[in-house]
């Protein structure tokens, strides 16, 4: 391979400018800052290139070596993961394991976007994947290296990345001076114990550093379920360390690499959605088999489960690929919307169902073509070819009958790739050549009669073989002595030829088989012995081994047919790809019709405007689902919607159309906030949950929706805890939020549900407050944020003023009623507390009601209303759902004391009557003493004594 240095692309130039703006004197590409590190007598010294007498050519070669972009990539079992290092900005970019298709479109997309100078891959990677890498390397002039598989082991990759200084070293302020003084004063270590102690003091505890690194790694990326990505990281870091050792004589290894950050590799054409977001939004849900001994799984209640009505295996794989990598192309998404709308048109319902049934007959043809190539095609594979030809012709015949299909892109593509004449000829040739009944009988592919004369003659001989054998047996029988064998048979065995068979005698088992004159013993079984004689050799010579001859001839004929079919391999594969896309679109049309999904309006603006949105999964498991509205604008888009238009809009609950990027939802416990957050998250981007090079647009569960592009989705909804992790539940939540803060843009969507609840209430509220202030401070770069919280104390003027904060506040509406059905209040719009709950123990009795029973006291409407609601009504919720009434009353009383700052009254509950009387008297004395004006009433010592006596309630002489 040749090593050709390519000019910097626009992306690299931009990264280089970014580095020069941040640290102009420390960039690896700056020729003035290049230093070689040399070790003399155990000390590191930096020597410049000019001092060593290096000429300009050598320096330019060193710069060329350090500016190369290296990409490590691996693909196994249909999944691909990669990592690459950009020396211009000293950043490592990673791409988590993702599903790859049969054409390796994702691999090609990654290579085209990164434009690497060096490409590394594992020796155990898939062969076709390696071919794609080689083809790209040959066309671009970069270097390709096939590394041993041991370099791509996940455990090795984890060890390498945890050794980076970015992760392992924590800032320890004030420790440098102490360390320097200790080193200067102490002498050299005298033994191994001193050496280890000195190492721990100087570099820190290795175990503690590894734990810190593993925790900090989760802030940058979630690599727990990405073994291919981890292995690629290990191979990448090993390669960079080796190159640095050769070029710079640096012996610090991986720990000395200058990596300033670790970021996700954002694909330009698809949305970034990580594993946490996929699980939180229930895009996929795998259910294990009931038996612990079975590894079988099935799809549970998930978005993929309700949308997947595909008829082909290729369609199912393609839909999963779309959901994993959503598209960012509005024109293509709109084209898919047009297709779904066409299939949902009342005039096309019957025809769409017929087309979907025809797709069911199209099997995994690429797999069949692969079997044909290697000569391992079974009878079922040939049947798949015939079915494909038949159903493709039927699909093509159905296209003109569709109404309003003139501008549908998928139908034009389908009409183009369905070469009806060619496919019809293929199906006819296969069906006329293969004898299906005989093939099923013999378990191999057999040829019909009248295809080949020589084959027909051999089959004719084989068909009359029984009469020939019977005739020969009658001719041989008189020549066999009666005491030698009671009967004689002539049999035919493929590969062995014709044999004389006689019954096996008992003495032959002990003394050996006795041969007649002219007979040659061949072999024996428990019942018969088999011999060759002159007649059998004549049959072998004139008739031959007829059955293998028939099979060999049929193989030759089928091979010619196989070559004829393979001439149309590309056309058949292209037709299967389009049929898989059609299968997905028809499946989306079925789901949109069944679940009452409507077409959204795509917009170039950074907006999510949903009218009557529903959660597509939640509404399937409840009797009645209440739809809600949502409105968000990413960044600062003043004037995006005309204020007059906002006033006249039907969306009264969310208008006046404040162009805010942040929506905060509050409300009572169990009011539905937890479903409100993912509802907007699933409903908003659902029509873009498609990806790869194939694009799709599904209708959304809403009455009306205007949706812009979302480039990334981050969630803090579910905490995926595990005993194998070194992190607590709260630390996992922090990692999810940290990942969102590091990677979000103004086009991103962030969903936060009760962030901060896993720690002390004050600390959690402070973190939540800080995150909101951070997003607000971003201004035009603020992402779209939907958050639900019970931290009500932060929404006040001295912390987060709800009146001046650019945040849209909503709450879930509730009604308060007595047990007799009388309405006490409701959470009205703009009211902080429409119904003040009485915190005294006799509240229920004072209202004339009885104990609150389930369904009484508070009614959850699950309806989003504009305004901030600062009462969680936890006590009432607890009583409704079964907590003892005495416990709830006690909780209300303590809550009341906390709100009035009179918690000290709880200390008075354990005192007896005498102690209470004494405490009351002491309180009266304190009040009289505090009411004494010492400046005006102090005249003499006697007056003071008298006044003190009066305060204490005693006589002056006491």
When comparing pLDDT for 907 and 604, which is higher?
604
Tokens of 593: 């019709």
Return d(Cα 742, Cα 748) in angstroms, integer.
12
Return d(Cα 410, Cα 582) in angstroms, integer.
7
Under a CB-based contact definition with an 8 Å cutoff, are residues 775 and 662 in contact? yes
Q: How confident is the model at residue 412 (pLDDT cuts 50, 70, 90)?
A: very high
When comparing pLDDT for 120 and 937, which is higher?
120
Nearest CA among 416, 346, 354, 418 for reference residue 388: 418
Residue 174 has phi, psi (to 5 degrees) of 80, 0
pLDDT-wise least confident of 30-34, 297-301, 693-697? 30-34
Decide the pairing of beta strands 261-264 and 91-99: parallel
Under a CB-based contact definition with an 8 Å cutoff, are residues 881 and 854 in contact? yes
pTM: 0.74
Question: Residue 246: what pLDDT?
Answer: 66
Nearest CA among 299, 342, 323, 365 for reference residue 582: 342
Decide the pairing of beta strands 79-86 and 91-99: antiparallel
Which residues, at least 6 apart from 771, have a Cβ–Cβ distance to it below 8 Å?
Answer: 737, 741, 752, 755
Nearest CA among 620, 613, 618 for reference residue 594: 620
Average pLDDT, the chain: 79
User: Is 60 exceeded by the pLDDT of residue 851?
Assistant: no
How far is CA 392 from each of CA 340, 384, 418, rounded to the nearest angstrom? 20, 12, 7
Under a CB-based contact definition with an 8 Å cutoff, are residues 832 and 868 in contact? yes
Sheet holding 520-524, edge to edge: 489-493, 497-503, 528-532, 520-524
User: Is 60 exceeded by the pLDDT of residue 56?
Assistant: no
- How many Cβ atoms from other residues are within 10 Å of residue 589's Cβ? 26
Question: Residue 566: what pLDDT?
Answer: 92
User: Is 60 exceeded by the pLDDT of residue 7?
Assistant: no
Under a CB-based contact definition with an 8 Å cutoff, are residues 597 and 572 in contact? no
* Cα four-point dihedral sign 839, 837, 622, 830: negative
Q: How confident is the model at residue 824 (pLDDT cuts 50, 70, 90)?
A: low
Question: Residue 256: what pLDDT?
Answer: 61
The whole-number average pLDDT for the span 350-359 is 94
| DSSP notation for 410-430 | HHHHHHHH--HHHHHHHHHHH
> What are the pLDDT digits (tens) for 370-411?
899 888 899 999 999 999 999 999 999 999 999 888 789 999
Tokens of 181: 């003084």
When comparing pLDDT for 103 and 953, which is higher?
103
Return d(Cα 826, Cα 636) in angstroms, integer.
34
Reduced to 3 states, what is the DSSP secondary structure of residue 332? Answer: helix
Instruction: Give strand ranges (E) for 563-661.
Output: 601-602, 607-613, 628-633
Chain center to CA of 640: 33
Crossing angle of helices 379-398/349-360, nearest 10°? 160
* Cα four-point dihedral sign 783, 789, 791, 792: positive
Nearest CA among 785, 762, 790, 563 for reference residue 668: 790
Return d(Cα 787, Cα 717) in angstroms, integer.
10
Chain center to CA of 857: 43
Which helix H or strand E contains 775, and what residues bound it?
helix 761-777
Return d(Cα 66, Cα 596) in angstroms, integer.
57
When comparing pLDDT for 341 and 285, which is higher?
341
Under a CB-based contact definition with an 8 Å cutoff, are residues 664 and 676 in contact? no
Question: Residue 189: what pLDDT?
Answer: 55
> What are the pLDDT digits (tens) for 130-145?
999 998 998 888 899 9
Return d(Cα 112, Cα 107) in angstroms, integer.
9
User: Is 50 exceeded by the pLDDT of residue 52?
Assistant: no
Sheet holding 91-99, edge to edge: 143-147, 118-122, 70-76, 79-86, 91-99, 261-264
Return d(Cα 429, Cα 447) in angstroms, integer.
12
Return d(Cα 848, Cα 845) in angstroms, integer.
5
Return d(Cα 139, Cα 133) in angstroms, integer.
10
State what percent of residues in the chain have pLDDT above 70. 77
Question: Residue 881: what pLDDT?
Answer: 78
Tokens of 8: 């910097």
Tokens of 931: 């009411």
The β-bridge partners of 707 are 602, 608
pLDDT-wise least confident of 132-141, 412-421, 559-568, 714-723? 714-723
Cα angle, residue 591 at apex, residues 304 and 367 outer, rounded to 5°: 55
- DSSP label at residue 122: E
Question: Residue 579: what pLDDT?
Answer: 94
Reduced to 3 states, what is the DSSP secondary structure of residue 705? Answer: strand
Question: Residue 937: what pLDDT?
Answer: 60
b/e 418-454 (16+ beta carbons within 10 angstroms → b): bbeebbeebbebbbebbbeebbeeeeebbbbeeebee
Q: How confident is the model at residue 687 (pLDDT cuts 50, 70, 90)?
A: very low
How far is CA 73 from each of CA 95, 114, 324, rounded to the nearest angstrom? 9, 12, 19
Tokens of 830: 């703009």
> What are the pLDDT digits (tens) for 65-89?
446 889 999 999 889 999 999 887 7
Question: Residue 175: what pLDDT?
Answer: 42
The half-sphere exposure of 117 on its side-chain side, counting CA atoms within 13 A, is 20
How far is CA 313 from each of CA 95, 295, 576, rounded to the nearest angstrom? 26, 20, 11
> What are the pLDDT digits (tens) for 240-279?
888 877 655 445 566 567 788 888 888 877 888 888 888 8
Reduced to 3 states, what is the DSSP secondary structure of residue 609? Answer: strand
Q: How confident is the model at residue 590 (pLDDT cuts 50, 70, 90)?
A: very high
> What are the pLDDT digits (tens) for 180-238?
444 444 455 555 556 555 555 555 567 777 777 887 888 888 787 889 999 999 999 99
pLDDT-wise least confident of 30-44, 190-204, 344-358? 30-44
Question: Residue 554: what pLDDT?
Answer: 93
Under a CB-based contact definition with an 8 Å cutoff, are residues 684 and 630 in contact? yes
User: Is 50 exceeded by the pLDDT of residue 693?
Assistant: no
When comparing pLDDT for 14 and 503, which is higher?
503
């Amino acid at each position: 391979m040749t090593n050709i240095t390519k000019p910097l692309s626009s992306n690299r130039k931009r990264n280089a400018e970014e580095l020069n703006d941040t640290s102009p004197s420390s960039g690896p590409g700056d020729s003035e800052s290049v230093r070689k590190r040399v070790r003399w007598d155990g000390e590191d010294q930096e020597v410049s290139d000019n001092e060593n007498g290096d000429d300009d050519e050598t320096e330019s070669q060193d710069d060329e070596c350090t500016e190369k972009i290296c990409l490590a990539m691996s693909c196994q079992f249909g999944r691909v993961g990669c990592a690459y290092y950009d020396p211009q900005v000293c950043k490592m970019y990673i791409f988590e394991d993702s599903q790859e298709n049969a054409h390796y479109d994702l691999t090609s997309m990654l290579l085209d976007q990164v434009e690497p100078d060096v490409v590394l891959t594992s020796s155990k990677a898939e062969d076709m994947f390696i071919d794609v890498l080689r083809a790209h390397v040959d066309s671009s002039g970069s270097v390709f290296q096939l590394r041993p598989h041991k370099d791509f082991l996940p455990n090795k990759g984890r060890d390498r990345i945890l050794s980076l200084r970015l992760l392992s070293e924590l800032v320890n302020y004030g420790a440098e001076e102490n360390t320097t003084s200790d080193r200067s004063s102490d002498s050299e270590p005298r033994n191994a114990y001193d050496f280890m102690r000195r190492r721990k003091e100087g570099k820190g505890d290795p175990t503690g550093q590894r734990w810190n690194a593993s925790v900090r790694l989760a802030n940058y990326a979630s690599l727990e379920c990405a073994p291919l990505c981890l292995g690629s990281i290990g191979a990448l870091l090993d390669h960079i360390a080796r190159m640095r050792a050769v070029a710079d004589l640096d012996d610090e290894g991986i720990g000395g690499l200058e990596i300033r950050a670790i970021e996700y590799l954002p694909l330009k054409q698809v949305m970034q959605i990580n594993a946490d977001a996929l699980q939180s939004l229930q895009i996929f849900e795998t259910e294990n088999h009931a038996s612990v001994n079975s590894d079988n799984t099935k799809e549970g209640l998930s978005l993929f489960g309700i949308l997947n009505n595909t008829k082909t295996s290729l369609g199912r794989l393609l839909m999963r690929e779309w959901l994993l990598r959503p598209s960012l192309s509005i024109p293509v998404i709109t084209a898919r919307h047009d297709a779904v709308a066409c299939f949902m048109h009342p005039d096309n319902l019957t025809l769409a169902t017929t087309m979907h049934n025809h797709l069911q007959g199209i099997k995994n043809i690429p797999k069949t073509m692969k079997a044909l190539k290697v000569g391992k095609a079974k009878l079922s594979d040939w049947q798949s070819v015939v079915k494909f030809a038949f159903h493709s012709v039927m699909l093509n015949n159905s296209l003109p009958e569709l109404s309003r299909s003139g501008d549908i892109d998928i139908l034009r593509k389908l009409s183009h790739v369905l070469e009806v004449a060619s496919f019809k000829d293929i199906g006819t040739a296969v069906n006329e050549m293969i004898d299906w009944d005989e093939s099923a009988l013999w378990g191999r592919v057999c040829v019909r009669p009248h295809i080949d004369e020589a084959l027909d003659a051999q089959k004719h001989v084989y068909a009359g073989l029984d009469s020939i054998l019977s005739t020969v047996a009658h001719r041989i029988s008189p020549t066999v002595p009666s005491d030698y064998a009671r009967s004689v048979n002539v049999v035919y065995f493929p590969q062995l030829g014709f044999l004389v068979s006689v019954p096996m005698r008992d003495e032959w088992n002990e003394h050996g088989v006795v041969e007649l004159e002219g007979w040659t013993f061949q072999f024996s079984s428990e019942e018969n012995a088999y011999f060759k004689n002159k007649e059998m050799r004549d049959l072998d010579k004139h008739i031959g081994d007829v059955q293998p001859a028939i099979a060999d001839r049929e193989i030759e004929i089928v091979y010619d047919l196989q070559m004829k079919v393979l001439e149309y391999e590309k056309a058949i594969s292209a037709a299967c790809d389009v049929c898989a896309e059609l299968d997905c679109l028809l499946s989306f049309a079925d789901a949109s019709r069944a679940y009452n999904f409507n077409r959204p309006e795509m917009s170039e603006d950074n907006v999510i405007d949903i009218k009557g949105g529903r959660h597509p999964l939640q509404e399937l498991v409840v009797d009645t689902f209440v739809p809600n509205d949502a409105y968000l604008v990413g960044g600062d888009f003043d004037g995006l919607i005309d204020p007059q238009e906002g006033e006249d809009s039907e969306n009264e609950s969310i208008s006046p159309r404040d162009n805010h990027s942040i929506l905060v939802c509050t409300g009572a416990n169990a009011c539905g906030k937890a479903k409100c957050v993912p509802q907007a998250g699933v409903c908003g981007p659902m029509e873009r949950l498609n990806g790869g090079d194939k694009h799709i647009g599904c209708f959304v569960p809403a009455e009306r929706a205007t949706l812009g592009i979302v480039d990334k989705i981050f969630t803090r909804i579910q905490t995926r805890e595990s005993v194998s992790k070194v992190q607590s539940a709260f630390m996992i939540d922090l990692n999810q939020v940290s990942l969102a803060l590091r990677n979000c843009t103004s086009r991103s969507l962030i969903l936060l549900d009760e962030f901060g609840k896993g720690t002390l209430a004050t600390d959690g509220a402070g973190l939540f407050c800080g995150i909101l202030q951070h997003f607000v401070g971003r201004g035009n770069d603020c992402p779209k944020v939907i958050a639900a919280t019970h931290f009500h104390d932060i929404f006040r003027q001295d912390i987060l003023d709800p009146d001046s904060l650019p945040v849209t506040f909503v709450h879930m509406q509730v009604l308060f009623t007595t047990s007799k059905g009388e309405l006490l209040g409701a959470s009205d719009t703009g009211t902080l507390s429409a119904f003040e709950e009485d915190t005294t123990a006799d509240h229920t009795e004072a209202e004339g009601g009885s104990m609150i029973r389930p369904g009484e006291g508070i009614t959850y409407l699950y309806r989003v209303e504009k305004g901030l609601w600062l009462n969680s009504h936890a006590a009432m919720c607890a009583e409704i759902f079964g907590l003892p009434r005495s416990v709830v009353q006690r909780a209300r009383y303590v809550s009341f004391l906390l709100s009035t700052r009179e918690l000290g009254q709880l200390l008075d509950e354990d005192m007896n009557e005498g102690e209470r009387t004494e405490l009351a008297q002491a309180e009266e004395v304190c009040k009289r003493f505090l009411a004494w004006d010492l400046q005006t009433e102090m005249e003499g010592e006697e007056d003071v004594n008298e006044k003190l006596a009066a305060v204490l309630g005693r006589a002056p002489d006491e």
